[in-house]
Amino acid sequence: MKYKHSDRVVELKRIPFQELKFMAVDNNDKLQSLLKKLDGNHEGIEEYTDQRNVLLRGYIAGQKLALSACNNNQKRAMFKTFSKLVDHGNKTLQANIEQALQSNLDKIAEMKDRIAKHESENE
């Protein structure tokens, strides 16, 4: 047969030509309205895509800010700990120096007592 869909061809031949023209115009109108809807959906998709991109940029910026704050807190904590360590070392060093100074002063006082004792014995 000449046409693949012979049943459909027979049905179309039974419909008057004027009615086929109305059906074609009606189908054309339906296709136009579908195209308009698709264009509207495409614009909506672009709008949603733009909104998604803005949200993602905000999210990424927030993550960068959080990471920066975390790094800053870590550096500050390390500086405070190092500062405390240095202060403790300085305090320990100062205590050792003071102890050595006191020991030397005690020895000097002891030597003065001996010298005074020897001088009194020599007189």
**Each residue of 71-100: pLDDT tens digit?**
999 999 999 999 888 888 888 888 888 999
By three-state DSSP, how is residue 28 classified?
Answer: helix
Q: What is the mean pLDDT of the chain?
A: 86
Q: What is the pTM of this model?
A: 0.43
pLDDT at residue 121, as a whole number: 82
33-57 pLDDT tens trace: 888 877 767 677 778 888 999 999 9
CA 109 to CA 96: how far, in whole Å? 20
Mean pLDDT over residues 20-26, rounded? Answer: 86
Per DSSP, the residues of 61-117 read HHHHHHHHHHHHHHHHHHHHHHHHHHHHHHHHHHHHHHHHHHHHHHHHHHHHHHHHH
How sure is the predictor about 122, in pLDDT bands with cuts at 50, 70 and 90?
A: confident
Mean pLDDT over residues 15-28, rounded? Answer: 86
